Amino acid sequence: MSAFTPTEMMTIAAARALGNEDVCFVGIGAPSAACNLARLTHAPGITLIYESGTIATKPDVLPLSIGDGELCDTALTTVSVPEMFRYWLQGGRITVGFLGGAQIDRFANLNTTVVGPYDRPKVRLPGGGGAPEIATSSGEVFITMAMGLRAFVDRLPFVTSMGHGEGGDHRRRLGVTTKGPTKVMTDLCVMEPDPDSKELAVVSLHPGVSREQVQAACGWPLRFARDLAETPAPTAEELTVLRDLHARTQRAHAAD
């Protein structure tokens, strides 16, 4: 098996965080790759739900969007979007919400709205979609994002999806009873919030990655766990299944 890429390591680390009994609200892109990798390896019983209302979907290729026919074609059933959010998500039936974003801060708040001032942005992003509701109503939230100074920023220009707000017990003070972000999987490391302050701390470095590399890709002074671990390298099975999934996806989309 050839060497793995940082993106493959990120996806595999994210997949490992999921369990067979999870009911997972899946975001498009990296979260979708991680969730389907988990389904195809150690968690065949996982229930994947997409924002378009597809329940227990088992796509053979990764969807281009929530409206991709692959999701509906391979789902156990499809419900309306209002039912998906009101009954399934806000009804407390989702164990894990899996999100990404354009920017993240030290308390795992996400921005997918604008870069720069809201009324005169440098970049206007796609917006929140269902992410704000996923972030507050899922039992817990996993985030997967590649690190870089433009993505991991000291202060967000706009908070689209709440992580731990201002830190500490901010979620509870706002009446939000779910756990919020519990893991952030990146291409360099894995982060988790401090139990008290809720500020993200690096708990695991990926193979061959140094503390200095991680800090250089982050816009705030990072904390590192006292018992800092090394993320286990991808197994041959994980890499084979992930690469086959991406190869099938590329072939399918090239034929469209």
Catalytic residues: 51
Tokens of 159: 């908070």
In the chain, % helix, strand, coil (3-state, to 5) comes to 30, 20, 50
- In which element (H, E) is residue 115 found? strand 114-115
Residue pair 66/126 in contact (Cβ under 8 Å)? The answer is no
Strand order in the sheet with 54-55: 77-78, 54-55, 47-50, 23-26, 96-99, 140-144, 181-185, 189-193, 200-205, 223-230
Question: 10 Å Cβ neighbour count for 72?
Answer: 17
Long-range pairs for 110-113: beta carbons < 8 A, 24 or more residues apart: 110/135, 110/143, 110/156, 110/159, 110/160, 110/161, 110/163, 111/156, 111/157, 111/158, 111/159, 111/160, 112/160, 112/161, 113/158, 113/160
Q: For the residues of 41-69, what is the DSSP string, one character each?
A: TT-TT-EEEETTSEES---SS--SSTT-H
Residue pair 157/18 in contact (Cβ under 8 Å)? The answer is no
